Structure 1
Amino acid sequence: MQSVKQQVSEQEWKTRVDLAAAYRMVAHYGWDDLVFTHISARVPGPEHHFLINPYGMMFDEVTASSLVKVDLQGNKVMTSDYDINPAGFVIHSAVHEARDDAQCVMHLHTTAGIAVSTQKGGLLALSQQSLLALSSLSYHDYEGIALNPDEKKRLVADLGTTNFMILRNHGLLTCADTIADAFLGMFIMQRSCEIQLQAQASGQALIPISEQILAGIKAQAKQVTRSAGGALAWPGILRKLDRSNPGYDQ
């Protein structure tokens, strides 16, 4: 029997390896929520096919071969011993379908991310890290567990052309044209949330970054996000995984 690697293109295999690495790095940083969040990536090629985690597998167990290939409706398009969480794909399929540039969509339930999502003011301009997220940030109000297909159009409308989203009372989302950039975006937004919560917990008066500086960042958003460094950081991330949690590329 052919291995998964033998059945797919070289480009798809690279996407599988990078996506499996992203899952394992989420686990490394403690951002996972058992088996209940998702990172999806579009398979290179004309078909609208996507890779997502096998339902029930811990993030630090995900491998390139175990990722499940599905269509926009969440139906498997390649034989797999694993199933996916259909509810989990509602958010991802909505973004992938609406945004051709969203080659990777990452949605997490981090403690810091959810905590900031419950704050009326949302993410505040308190740190240099927060500026990148704020330059392309949107919000989506909580509608319950993502089971309702009708929510997709509202989520997409709220997302618009942004690459960072805070889902109120729920968590964080990033999308990008590469897995490396989606991961870096999540790293930056998560770090921004952590900094905000620690600063607020100090009980001291906080110094917000001025609107003038924030406006300048927003004006340069496209230039900033395209040079954010995902491709620069990613090889080092893979080397780190090779040392600490090898096997993701199998």
Structure 2
Amino acid sequence: MKYDTNFKSVKDQVSPEEWTARVELAACYRLIDQYGMTDLIYNHVTSRIPGTEHLLINLYGLLYKEITASSLVKIDVEGEIIHKPDTDYGINKSGYVIHGAIHKARPDVKCVLHTHTRAGIAVSAMNCGLLPLSQTSIRFHNHIGYHDFEGPAVDLEERERIVDDLGEHNALVMKNHGLLTCGPSVPEAFNLMYQLEQSCRSQVDAMAARTELNVPGENVLAHTAHLYQPGTRRPYGVLEWPAMLRLLDAEQKNSAYPPYWH
């Protein structure tokens, strides 16, 4: 079995647009690891290659901190592999069941993230769902969907229900499962997942304190949520992205793993 992680660069074998998408997505995987949102080798982040209906996804078996631009797999929205590195690693079926459904139904979505974090799973198991307890979580007020658990997401028939439950939102709590965010770009989808994860962590902390919780009035909730929508002030994630890359570049100097841009 061939399970090497030293992959040859594909920079000269793909279009400049695809290479840029690969580097950006690989950086996103590293950031998910950087901020403690990984789950061993599980979960996925997908990105659409500009000008195509093809997606990029991780090899199933790599740590997020091992993922590089050249290790990503090119698939279509039905999960058929178009190109992958010379390795026995494949892709996780759940990745394209969940992600492919959203990419196919939402042309506006260029990136989809799915996580199984401790706090995200905890909130996904709460009947109350995500509570508007902080400025961070209030941004999701009336801007998040919920999808009932149907078992591991390997059933293609579940695709339609995932899409329906997400609706026009860019965030979804998959009950008893985890979190999902999406967006018109990798930076925006990552930023939304970071904010959703922080919201779940703070909710678990606040509820664990076993004290009465304060929730602002509906007028404040609606106003605050509106101010954080992409078209109101700015698309959150875009301004932050260069700083995120600088963080990764600084970390790379002391890392034993190959750079994400390889």
TM-score tier, shorter chain, comes to over 0.9
State which of 80, 85, 92 in structure 1 corresponds to 2:85.
Answer: 80
Shift of 1:78: 2.0
Tell me, in whole angstroms, the C-alpha distance in 2 between the residues paired with 1:77 and 1:226.
39
Tell me, in whole angstroms, the C-alpha distance in 2 between the residues paired with 1:243 and 1:144.
40
* Number of residue-to-residue matches in the alignment: 248
CA offsets per residue over residues 177-203 of structure 1, 9 Å max, x none? 000000000000000011111111111
Over the aligned positions, Cα root-mean-square deviation in angstroms equals 1.6
* SS across alignment from 1:231: coil
The alignment's TM-score, normalised by the length of structure 2, stands at 0.90
Contact 2:72 2:84 in 1 (8 A): no
Letter in 2 for 1:34: L
Tell me, in whole angstroms, the C-alpha distance in 1 between the residues paired with 2:60 and 2:191.
24
The alignment's TM-score, normalised by the length of structure 1, stands at 0.94
Tell me, in whole angstroms, the C-alpha distance in 2 between the residues paired with 1:174 and 1:24.
17
Tell me, in whole angstroms, the C-alpha distance in 2 between the residues paired with 1:79 and 1:25.
22
State which of 118, 138, 149 in structure 1 corresponds to 2:145.
Answer: 138
Letter in 1 for 2:24: D
Tell me, in whole angstroms, the C-alpha distance in 2 between the residues paired with 1:19 and 1:133.
24
* SS across alignment from 2:21: helix
* SS across alignment from 1:188: helix
Letter in 2 for 1:125: P
State which of 5, 16, 25 in structure 2 corresponds to 1:10.
Answer: 16
Query: What are structure 1's unaligned runs of at least 5 residues?
Result: none
Tell me, in whole angstroms, the C-alpha distance in 1 between the residues paired with 2:225 and 2:235.
14
* SS across alignment from 1:199: helix
For residue 35 of structure 2, what is the aligned residue in structure 1?
29
Change (3 A) 1:146 1:224: same
Tell me, in whole angstroms, the C-alpha distance in 1 between the residues paired with 2:102 and 2:172.
11
Tell me, in whole angstroms, the C-alpha distance in 1 between the residues paired with 2:122 and 2:205.
11
Stretch deviating more after TM superposition (26-35 or 184-193): 26-35
Contact 1:133 1:188 in 2 (8 A): no
* SS across alignment from 1:209: coil
Change (3 A) 1:15 1:225: farther
Q: Equivalences for 1:200-239 in 2 at 5 Å? A: 200-219=207-226, 222-223=229-230, 227-239=234-246
For residue 201 of structure 2, what is the aligned residue in structure 1?
194
For residue 256 of structure 2, what is the aligned residue in structure 1?
none
CA offsets per residue over residues 149-201 of structure 1, 9 Å max, x none? 00000111111100010000000000000000000000000000111111111
Tell me, in whole angstroms, the C-alpha distance in 2 between the residues paired with 1:249 and 1:226.
31
CA offsets per residue over residues 106-161 of structure 1, 9 Å max, x none? 00001000100100000001000001122420000000000100000011111110
Shift of 1:229: 2.7
Change (3 A) 1:79 1:139: closer
For residue 157 of structure 2, what is the aligned residue in structure 1?
150
For residue 177 of structure 2, what is the aligned residue in structure 1?
170
Letter in 2 for 1:211: E
Mapped pair 1:69 → 2:81: no
Contact 2:229 2:235 in 1 (8 A): no
Change (3 A) 1:141 1:101: same
Mapped pair 1:50 → 2:86: no
Tell me, in whole angstroms, the C-alpha distance in 2 between the residues paired with 1:222 and 1:187.
15
Shift of 1:224: 5.5
Letter in 2 for 1:248: Y
CA offsets per residue over residues 50-81 of structure 1, 9 Å max, x none? 00001100000000000000011111112422
Tell me, in whole angstroms, the C-alpha distance in 2 between the residues paired with 1:133 and 1:225.
14
Stretch deviating more after TM superposition (226-235 or 105-114): 226-235
